[in-house]
Amino acid sequence: MTSEHAPEQTPEQTNGAPLARYLASKRVGDFIFLSGVIAVDPARRLIVKGFDDIPDDAADLIGRSGEFSSDIKQGPILAQSWFVLDAIRRIIESEGGQMSDVFKLVQYFRNLDHFPYYSKVRQIFFPDEPPISTIVEVSAMLPSTDILIEVEATAYLPLNKGN
């Protein structure tokens, strides 16, 4: 995702702060492994439930229509998809990389009918070529039934890019 498409971040958002006792990400040699990322802002203790929980420019970018019935139905999965992928972007950038360094995603959905909405948002973050992907439907995710998607990511980011 290019910086011209990156919505402004709220100061409260943190880069991959874990919600429990585990690492949000870990570098192993030239690889960065991310734990499953969900749409929870740990700084605000907020589960993203719709367009109102993400920056306005992001909501507009991913398809907020202003039509109540459409936004209520599509808003939660679109907003969670954006939040999760943006969190992944921030973690990768904090390591000196970019989204094109991500080569694998594992995406967990509570409902596979949400995949087309997620896919639309994923294309914003990966406009050229999406990473290899695994899609899995699960019955539940922690910490709440409000969580609709979780994404694990793996990136290749050489320590010695110039060598």
pLDDT for 153 equals: 99
pLDDT digits (tens, 9 = 90+) for 57-91: 999 999 999 999 999 999 999 999 999 999 999 99
Where in the sequence is the domain holding 49, given as residue range(s)?
42-156
CATH number at residue 48: 3.30.1330.40
Residue 10 belongs to a domain? no
pLDDT for 21 equals: 66
pLDDT for 142 equals: 86
pLDDT for 8 equals: 42
Residues 6+ apart with CB under 8 A from 90: 9, 13, 15, 16
How far is 53 from 41, CA to CA, in rounded Å? 10
The number of distinct structural domains making up the chain is 1
pLDDT band at 43 (very low <50, low <70, confident <90, very high): confident
Predicted TM-score (pTM) of this structure: 0.86
Residue 104 belongs to a domain? yes
Whether residue 152 contacts residue 105, with contact meaning beta carbons closer than 8 Å, is answered with: yes
Residue 25 belongs to a domain? no
Residue 16 belongs to a domain? no
Task: Give the pLDDT mean for 143-156.
Answer: 96
pLDDT higher than 60, residue 14: no
Residue 48 belongs to a domain? yes
